[in-house]
Amino acid sequence: MKFFCIIDIYVKVENYMRVISGSARGHKLKAPEGLTTRPTTDRIKESLFNIIAADMYECRFLDLFSGSGAMGIEALSRGAKKAVFVDKDRKSVSVIRDNLKATKLEERAMVLNCDTALAIAKLGTLGEKFDIIFMDPPYNKGFIESTLTYIVKENILADDGYIIAEQSQGDEIPMIPELDVIRVKDYKITKMTFLSKAEK
């Protein structure tokens, strides 16, 4: 398996996304109100999950900067064994819980309402390992470098797992010695960078 990160924009809570495939296919998902979150569009989400579809079944999925929780919920709908959602915004966490309840996927989910660094440290202490880690931080704020560093420090990425990071086209992935970039997928104004543990 490998590793990535993603970002997009929604404006009002009455805007909806949908679950694209799996047990919850077609369910509408709420998006948090305001511009503090950037849910991944259905088009980009569908493209991403087409790429990683073979890795979904029974995987352990970590959704960082979760926003609406759409990415982790899509993973659960497609057969992920477990998904952990992390967001420090209370309104976003409330929306995530509502979306999990609506899709009847809450039994395989954990939701952490705290800072990403604190969440990663907690998961590391618990000995958690993830096959796929998805990051959706604000663009061009330096969160990718710090988050990748925390992930490496706490060793929460499975040996054959990967990270997915969505970025703006102008944002570069920092050099982290313990991680290798294995793929970059471009989408007009955004791109997804896939990283895995560096070969020793």
Residue 145's CB is within 10 A of a number of other CB atoms, namely 13
**Residues ≥6 apart with Cβ < 8 Å to 73:** 19, 24, 29, 83, 99, 100, 103, 105
Mean pLDDT within 112-130: 97
Is the pLDDT assigned to residue 16 strictly greater than 70?
no
pLDDT one-digit tens code per residue, 52-96? 999 999 999 999 999 999 999 999 999 999 999 999 999 999 999
Would you state the pLDDT for residue 34? 60
Mean pLDDT within 98-114: 96
CA distance 200 to 178: 9
CA distance 75 to 182: 21
Look at phi and psi of residue 185 and say left if phi exceeds 0, alpha if psi is from -120 to 50, else beta.
Answer: beta
